[in-house]
């Protein structure tokens, strides 16, 4: 039976440090503030919003929500983004995606000020992640994976790490963060030949494909560390990850659950990024 990597424990460990940093900034007249921009009211957006607002409150970060109608025009949305960009009180912007189909998501992403882009959407921040430049912001979920592995003392240097998934939201930026830690990274996807054997050879296996329970017991090597980044709803309506948790837990040395795993750390990383942005805006060392 593997050790279960609980995200709530990681978030709890991060909380005091984040709270202390926020208090230090506030004492110096800097009040970290996050603005969440939401178009419409998708249930998953609302759920993440509640968790993010609660986390910001716990560590002393001000949080407000700009709620925009689902049928908003591209021009109106771009004007709303520019307005938040120009507000000196706002240090971090979180724009929920995906946007409704009638909006040009790529154009809006380019508009978000890179210095306030705390979820690493703007191509300028993505470029910094790929070049190993720590002055930018990585997407929160990949960073949360790194925080979880660090908390549980999982050494990355020299390890064979397989990432299933190549999206710009998780798979690709996560692979760059792992390379920066000197891991040997293999990226897999739907066209990977002999996916099962490639995964079984990994010392650390990270599933971020968005396919319910696709990682079976046969795909995990004995004693492997297995991190589940997927969030899916199975046919019975239950929330589940990309990993068949009950089966894989028997073989893994460490395994993260869904829910209660990486997702629980993401809002703490978001808070970490808002504090970093506030320090940068104030000319302090991040």
Q: What is the CATH number of the domain that holds 176?
A: 3.40.50.720
Q: CA 36 to CA 32: how far, in whole Å? A: 13
163 and 85 part of one domain = no
Q: CA 137 to CA 283: how far, in whole Å? A: 17
110 and 145 part of one domain = no
Q: CA 61 to CA 18: how far, in whole Å? A: 9
Q: Which of 86, 117, 148 marks a domain boundary?
A: 117
Looking at residue 285, its pLDDT comes to 59
Looking at residue 14, its pLDDT comes to 97
Q: Which of 61, 86, 117 marks a domain boundary?
A: 117
DSSP-derived 3-state class of residue 270:
helix
Of 167, 245, 168, residue with least CA distance to 205: 245
194 and 250 part of one domain = yes
Is 100 within a domain? yes
Number of domains in the chain: 2
Residues spanned by the domain of 165 = 140-263
Residue 44 carries which DSSP code? H
Looking at residue 81, its pLDDT comes to 98
Is 132 within a domain? no
Is 268 within a domain? no
Q: CA 20 to CA 60: how far, in whole Å? A: 9
Residue 242 carries which DSSP code? S
Q: Which residues of the chain have pLDDT under 50?
A: none
Looking up tokens 């040395």, which residue turns up? 253
Looking at residue 260, its pLDDT comes to 95
Looking up tokens 């120009």, which residue turns up? 86
């Amino acid at each position: 039976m593997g050790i279960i990597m609980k995200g709530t424990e990681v978030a709890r460990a991060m909380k005091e440090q984040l709270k202390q940093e926020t208090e230090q900034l506030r004492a110096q007249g800097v009040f970290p503030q996050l603005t969440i921009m939401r178009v419409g009211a998708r249930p998953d957006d609302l759920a993440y919003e509640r968790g993010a607002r609660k986390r910001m409150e716990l560590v002393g970060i001000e949080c407000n929500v700009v709620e925009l109608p689902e049928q908003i025009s591209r021009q109106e949305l771009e004007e709303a983004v520019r307005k938040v960009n120009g507000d000196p009180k706002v240090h971090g912007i979180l724009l929920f995606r995906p946007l409704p189909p009638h909006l040009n998501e790529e154009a809006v992403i380019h508009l978000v000020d890179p210095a306030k882009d705390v979820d690493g959407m703007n191509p300028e921040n993505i470029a910094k992640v790929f070049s190993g430049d720590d002055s930018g912001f990585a997407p929160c979920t990949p960073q949360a994976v790194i925080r979880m592995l660090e908390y549980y003392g999982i050494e990355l240097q020299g390890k064979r790490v397989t990432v299933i998934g190549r999206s710009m939201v998780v798979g690709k930026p996560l692979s760059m963060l792992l390379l920066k830690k000197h891991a040997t990274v293999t990226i897999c996807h739907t066209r990977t030949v002999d996916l099962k054997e490639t995964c079984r050879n990994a010392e650390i296996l990270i599933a971020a494909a968005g396919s319910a329970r696709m990682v079976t017991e046969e795909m995990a090597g004995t004693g492997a560390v297995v991190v589940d980044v997927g969030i899916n709803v199975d046919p019975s309506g239950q929330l589940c990850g990309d990993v068949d948790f009950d089966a894989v837990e028997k073989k893994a040395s460490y395994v993260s659950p869904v829910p209660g795993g990486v997702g629980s750390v993401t809002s703490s990383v978001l808070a970490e990024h808002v504090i970093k942005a506030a320090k940068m805006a104030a000319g302090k060392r991040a």
